[in-house]
Structure 1
Amino acid sequence: MRTKREDFTLQSKAYRTNRDLPSTYTVNYQEALDWLYATQTFGIKLGLEGPTRLLREFLAFPSHRTKVIHVAGTNGKGSTCAMIDALGQGLALRSGLFTSPHLIDYRERVRVNGLEITKEKTANLLTELRELVADWEHHPTFFELTLALGMRHFRDLDCDLIVLETGMGGRLDATTAIPADVCVLTPISLDHTKWLGSTLDEIAREKAAIAIKGKPILSSPQDPEAEKAIRQITNQTQAPLTFVKSPLLGYSLSLSGEHQKQNAALACEAIVAAGLHLSFDVVQHALQHIQWPGRFEKVNETLILDAAHNPHAAEALVKTWRTEFPKKKADIIFGSVEDKSTDAVLSKLSEIAKEFHFVPVNSHRGLAPESHAVEVKSVVHSDLTSALDATIGRPTLLTGSLFLLGEAKALLSKNKFRTTSQ
C-alpha cells in the first residue's frame, strides 16, 4: 500500500510521465492550482530549513538592493502591510506585497504595485515548482510554495521594496527565511495557541523572534506581558527595538477605526527605518486611498464586513461600530473556526448585538453554528445565503472568520470561492 506522500509524488509527476509530455510543458492555471491545493495534505510545517532550500533552488531570494520589511503580530498585520505597500508606491518604488490568506482569489496573496500576479505567470511558476520538488523527500507545504512563487515574481519584476506578512508566528514561519531590513510587530494577543503556545508570553516570544541582529524592529503598544517578552528577545538578538506608541494624527485615513491610526504610525516608521523619506503629501495620498478588504468594509449602507476573529480584534471592532453607528445595534452574522477564543469574541460582540445569526464556515476547521451560545437573541442558519436574506435592509455586521468573509464577498460579487487551510 502506498503512503499519501507516495501517492502525491506520483500525481505530481503524472503530467510528464503519464501523458508523455516534455518537461517544459506548462499546465493551465486551474490544473496548476489544483496541484497546489492538493499540497494542503502535508499540513503546516514550522521550520526554516525547507523554505530556505526552496527559495535558494527556485532563485527566489531578493537581490541585495531590495528593501524587505517583515511584519508579524496577531491583529492588524494585513492592514499594516497594505499601508507600508501604499507608502512605498507613493515614493515611486516598485513594491511587492505578500499576504495571507486570500479572501476570494488565490492571486490576492502576491501583488506588485497593487496588481495581482497574472494567471499565466502563476501557472508558469507553479509548473516550475512542481518539477523542482517532485522528487524531494520532504515536500514543501502550500504556504512554502506560495511564498517561493511570490518571491520569485518579485525578483523577476525587480521590486525595490518587498512587504512580507508572516503566515503564523514568526520564529519558524517560512517568511523568516528571507533576510529583512526592518521587522515590525503589530498588536499581539492569544491566537493559534495549538502551535504558538498557550500564554501571551510564549506567543510574543515566537513572534518577536523575527528580530535580526543589528536590524531595526518596531512594535505597536503591547500588553505588559507581551512587551516584556519582546524586550527580552530583542535584547538577546541585539536588534534595536522601538515602540511606536503614538497614533498617526492629522491625516485622513480611508480605513475606519482608531486602531488604524496606530497601524498607520507603525507603517510610516517602518518606511523611515528602511532609510526612506516620507513627505506629508505622500503619506496623505497613500493613506487616503488605501483599500484593504474585510476591515470594517462597507458593502452598502447596511452591511459591514470585518475580519475580527479574536477578542482583541473584536474589541476594536465594537469601538469602531459605536463610532460609526452610535445609536444603532447590529444584526451580527457570525461564523468561526477551531483554535479561536470564540466565547470571548461573542461576549465582546454582544455589546453591540441586536440579534446573532450563526452560520457554518466553509472550512474543514469550521465550528458548527449550533455550538455557539449567547445571551442575546440568536438564530442558526443552514447557510450564509439565508442569513444574508434574513438581514436585508437592517444594520448588519458579518464577522468571525476570514474564510466567512471570503465566502460572503464571493457570494455578493457572484465569483467562485475556494477555501484554503493556509
Structure 2
Amino acid sequence: MTYSEAIDYLYAQLPVFHRVGAKALKPGLDNVIKLCAYLGNPQDQFKSIHVGGTNGKGSSSHLLAAILQSAGYKTGLYTSPHLKSFTERIRIDGFPIPGEAVADFVVQHKAFIEDLKPSFFEVTVGMAFDYFVRQNVDVAVIEVGLGGRLDSTNIITPLVSLITNIGWDHSDILGDSLQKIAYEKAGIIKPGVPVVISERDPETEGVFLDRASECQSPIAFASDQYAIRDLGVHEQGRDLAITSRGQTTTPLTIGLLGIYQLKNAAGVLATVEVLKTQFEIPDLAIADGFSKVVGLTGLKGRWQFLQQNPTVICDTAHNEPGILNVVESLKTVTYQQLHLVVGFVKDKDLSKVIRLFPKDAAYYFCQPDIPRALDAKDLAMAFQEQGREGEVFTDVNQALEVALNRAKPDDCILITGSTYVVAELNQLEA
C-alpha cells in the first residue's frame, strides 16, 4: 500500500470531521483507549504538553515545540487539521511523518481498525502517539482537536496543560454558553498537573478555578504574569517588549505577525516557566523558538504574507473571536483599498461573524472543496443582508485571481473564513 492509497483508505473507511462535521465524532474516549491499549499504550511512554482553547492553540503549540527544539530536545508535535498534506499533523523537530510510515501503520493495523471502526481523528491520534514512541522523542506537544474533555488526545497525562482562551465556536457540540464551552476545555486539566490559562476572562475564570481546585492542580493566568507591548513589524517578525510580573522587561521577536499573537505569547511564556522544572530551557532557546517558529515547525496560514504590491495575506481564522483578531491585525497594515476573499463551512454562526467585517471592502465569496462547505451563493446572500456586497466564485484561487487583477499595488487582499479555504490556496507552499 502506498501513502496515497493509505490516505484514500482512511478517508473512505472512517468518518472525517473536516469533511462531514459533527457526524464524524465518536462520543467518549472508549475507542481511542481501546486503540492505544492495542498499540501498547504509547501515550504513557513519552513526556507531553497538552494545548487546548478556542483560538491560538495551534500557534501556541508550534511556539512551544520550536522553543523545545531550540533547547536541543527531540520534539514531537501533533496538530490538526492539516493544510496541504496529512503528514503535517505529525512532526518531529519540524519534519512531517514520512508517507511510508503512514502507509506502514495502516497496513499493520488495518484489521484492528476495521474491527474497531474508530473515527479518522482517533486513528490519527493513535498513529501520532505510536510514531513518537518509535522515534523516541524527548517530549511531544499535543494540540487538542475539538473541545477537550472528550477529545481523543485527552488520554495523556501531560507535564503541563495550556488553555489559550474561550470563545464562541462549535457551540452545537460544546455548549450554548461560554461557561459550558469552558467546562469542556477545562476537561484537559489533570489531577496534580499544572495548568496555564493564557487569558483571564471574568466570564469563564471560575470554571477553570473550580476544575483546578477539584484536581488540586496549580493554576496560573498568564495575562496576570506578563504584560506584552507591540513594538512593530519588520521582515524578521514582530518585536515585543515582555514585562514579567511588572518588573523585568525583555525584548523578544516573534516570527508570527498577527497582532493577536501577543495573547498567545503570554501563555507560551508562562508554560515554559512550568517546563523549566523538567527541562533546561535557556533564554536563547526561547528567543530562537519565538523568532524562528515558522522555519522550525513549518507553521503556515497564520497571518501569513504571500506577496507584496499588492499585499496578500491569508489567515485561517474561522470563528467570531478569530475573525475579530484578524480585523484587529488589519489595523496594523497600511493600504488604500481592502479586498476580502472569504469562505466558510456550514456549521458557523454567521450572524455573529459578518458584523465584524468592514463594510467598505470589496468582497469575493468562495467555498472550500469539501462536503461541509457553505455554498458561496448562500454566503454572499448572508453578507448582502448585512450590507456587504460582493461577487461569487466556486474556487478560492479563482476569487484571488480576480482580486489580484483588480487590486492596485498599494491595496491589500486578505483570504480568511476557513482553514479549508486557506488550505486550497495555490500560493500557499506545499
TM bucket (normalised to shorter chain) is 0.7 to 0.9
Residue 359 (str. 1) matches residue 366 (str. 2): yes
Deviations 1:142-163 (A, max 9, x none): 0000011111110001111110
Deviations 1:310-336 (A, max 9, x none): 1111111111111122x5442000000
Q: Distance in 2 between matches of 1:396 and 1:145?
A: 37
Matching of residues 362-381 of structure 1 within 5 Å: 362-371=369-378, 372-373=382-383, 374-381=386-393
Higher normalized strand content (fraction of residues): 2
Task: Please state how far the C-alpha of 1:413 moved relative to its aligned partner.
Answer: 5.6
Task: Please state how far the C-alpha of 1:236 moved relative to its aligned partner.
Answer: 1.9
Residue 295 (str. 1) matches residue 307 (str. 2): no
One-letter code aligned to 1:405? V
For the 8 Å contact 2:301–2:315, the answer to whether it is kept is: yes
For the 8 Å contact 2:87–2:96, the answer to whether it is kept is: yes
**SS of the residue aligned with 2:51?**
strand
Q: Distance in 2 between matches of 1:407 and 1:97?
A: 23
Q: How many residues are paired up?
A: 382
Task: Please state how far the C-alpha of 1:63 moved relative to its aligned partner.
Answer: 5.1
Q: Residue 386 of structure 1 corresponds to which residue in structure 2?
A: 398
**SS of the residue aligned with 1:31?**
helix
Q: Distance in 2 between matches of 1:366 and 1:135?
A: 31
Residue 181 (str. 1) matches residue 159 (str. 2): yes
Which of 38, 41, 45 matches 1:57? 38
**Change in 2 beyond 3 A, CA 1:360/1:257:** closer
Q: Residue 427 of structure 2 corresponds to which residue in structure 1?
A: 412
**Change in 2 beyond 3 A, CA 1:112/1:247:** farther
Residue 332 (str. 1) matches residue 374 (str. 2): no
For the 8 Å contact 2:64–2:289, the answer to whether it is kept is: no
Q: Distance in 2 between matches of 1:117 and 1:414?
A: 18
Deviations 1:2-31 (A, max 9, x none): xxxxxxxxxxxxxxxxxxxxxxxxx22122
Identify unmatched segments of 5+ residues in structure 2.
Answer: 16-22, 229-241, 243-250
For the 8 Å contact 2:77–2:140, the answer to whether it is kept is: yes
One-letter code aligned to 2:363? F
Q: Residue 318 of structure 2 corresponds to which residue in structure 1?
A: 309
Q: Residue 36 of structure 1 corresponds to which residue in structure 2?
A: 10
Residue 280 (str. 1) matches residue 296 (str. 2): no
One-letter code aligned to 1:378? G
For the 8 Å contact 2:147–2:184, the answer to whether it is kept is: yes
Deviations 1:311-370 (A, max 9, x none): 111111111111122x5442000000122222322211226x521111122221111112
Q: Residue 228 of structure 1 corresponds to which residue in structure 2?
A: 206
Q: Distance in 2 between matches of 1:195 and 1:153?
A: 30
Q: Residue 264 of structure 1 corresponds to which residue in structure 2?
A: 265
Q: Distance in 1 between matches of 2:119 and 2:187?
A: 22
**Change in 2 beyond 3 A, CA 1:38/1:150:** same
**SS of the residue aligned with 1:392?**
helix
Q: Distance in 1 between matches of 2:319 and 2:262?
A: 20
Q: Residue 344 of structure 1 corresponds to which residue in structure 2?
A: 352
For the 8 Å contact 1:247–1:262, the answer to whether it is kept is: no
One-letter code aligned to 1:40? L
One-letter code aligned to 1:286? G
**SS of the residue aligned with 1:257?**
coil
**SS of the residue aligned with 2:420?**
helix
Q: Residue 46 of structure 1 corresponds to which residue in structure 2?
A: 27
Deviations 1:111-144 (A, max 9, x none): 00000000111110121221323333xx111000
Task: Please state how far the C-alpha of 1:247 moved relative to its aligned partner.
Answer: 4.5
**SS of the residue aligned with 1:396?**
strand
Q: Residue 12 of structure 1 corresponds to which residue in structure 2?
A: none
The Cα RMSD (Å) is 1.8
Q: Distance in 2 between matches of 1:140 and 1:247?
A: 44
Which of 49, 66, 69 matches 1:86? 66
TM-score between both structures, scaled by the size of structure 2 = 0.85
Q: Residue 254 of structure 1 corresponds to which residue in structure 2?
A: 255
**Change in 2 beyond 3 A, CA 1:133/1:40:** closer
TM-score between both structures, scaled by the size of structure 1 = 0.86
Q: Distance in 1 between matches of 2:65 and 2:51?
A: 12
One-letter code aligned to 1:300? Q
For the 8 Å contact 1:74–1:186, the answer to whether it is kept is: yes
One-letter code aligned to 1:287? F
**SS of the residue aligned with 1:71?**
strand
- Aligned residues with identical type, % of pairs: 30
**SS of the residue aligned with 2:115?**
coil
**Change in 2 beyond 3 A, CA 1:280/1:259:** same
Deviations 1:204-247 (A, max 9, x none): 00000111111100001143222122222222222221100025
